[in-house]
A and B are shown apart, each in its own frame.
Chain A
Amino acid sequence: MEERQYDLIFICRPDTPEADVDKIIATIEHAAAEKGDKIEKTEKWGRKRMAYPVHRLREGFYVFMDLRSSHGEVVKELERRLKVSDVVIKYLTVRVDEELKRQAKLKRHRERRAARRPRKTAPAAPSPAGGEQAAATLS
């Protein structure tokens, strides 16, 4: 199965010490590695005000992770871990690879169109770089 990309966001209690947040991040990374998947990057967004109270808390410590996985069970496992953790008040996993693929496709289309426009007679520009060069020589 091809690799999938997930966004994994979780919110910790605002009064959690930074060390505990790091511990959770480490656990998640470890659990993912155990399944043979990896966390591409981790971003700590820090304390943010939430749009609505969760467990009567107004703020939360947001952590964002980029997960690459080739099988779906790892998401289940990570979510289970987040659920049992006391400091994590909310989490969300979103599969994003399909959207990113669509984005790349649209971008490619746009570049190809932009490359083709300067010279109208050419059937199709081989690469966007070639089109830009043509535009440069014209101007």
Chain B
Amino acid sequence: MAEQSAPQQHGGPGPGSSGPRPQGGGGRPGGPAKRGKRSFVRKKKVCRFCVDKADFIDYKKAEILGAFIQERGKILPRRMTGTCARHQRWLTVAIKRAQNIALLPFAAEL
């Protein structure tokens, strides 16, 4: 019964709004930036390690890992760097190892 009623609910407003929808849908402000005024073209970030086809992140290469920490020494989140989940996992371990042997700072010294 529930399955039957659900399509009816959807079908009900469907035919009524089918007339104005083509125009209304195009001018929708919040839609994907096709021809809107506010089109922020955000460049898709790609995982640097995937590009290099890295199977392993070496904790000894501090100069590579250094790019993934903040000035203060925090590990940058994935959303900032675009690293994929798997590589971020490896990266975190590598950074923490590097910190332990003083290749990377735990925190910026002031």
B92 contacts across to A, CB distance below 8 A:
none
State which residues 46-92 of B face A: CB under 8 Å.
53, 55-56, 59-60, 62
Which of A9, A51, A100 lies in contact with B104, CB distance below 8 A? A51
In the complex, what's the smallest C-beta–C-beta distance from B83 to chain A, in angstroms? 17
- Whether the Cβ atoms of B102 and A11 lie closer than 8 Å is yes
Q: Are B59 and A94 in contact (CB under 8 A)?
A: yes
Q: How far is the CB of A66 from chain B (nearest CB, A)?
A: 11
Closest Cβ of chain A: how far from B88's Cβ, in Å? 16
Given A64-B60, A92-B97, A94-B97, does the pair A50, B55 have CB atoms closer than 8 Å? no
In A31-54, which residues have CB < 8 Å from any B CB? Answer: 50-54
Q: How large is the interface on B (under 10, 10 to 19, 20 to 34, 35 or more residues)?
A: 10 to 19
Chain A interfacial positions (CB closer than 8 Å to B): 7, 9, 11, 50-54, 60, 64, 90, 92, 94, 99-100, 102-103, 106-107, 110
25 residue pairs A–B, Cβ–Cβ below 8 Å: A7-B60, A9-B60, A11-B101, A50-B102, A51-B62, A51-B99, A51-B103, A51-B105, A52-B102, A52-B106, A52-B107, A52-B109, A54-B102, A90-B101, A90-B102, A92-B100, A92-B101, A94-B97, A99-B56, A100-B56, A102-B55, A102-B56, A106-B55, A107-B55, A110-B55
B residues at A contact (CB < 8 Å): 53, 55-56, 59-60, 62, 97, 99-107, 109
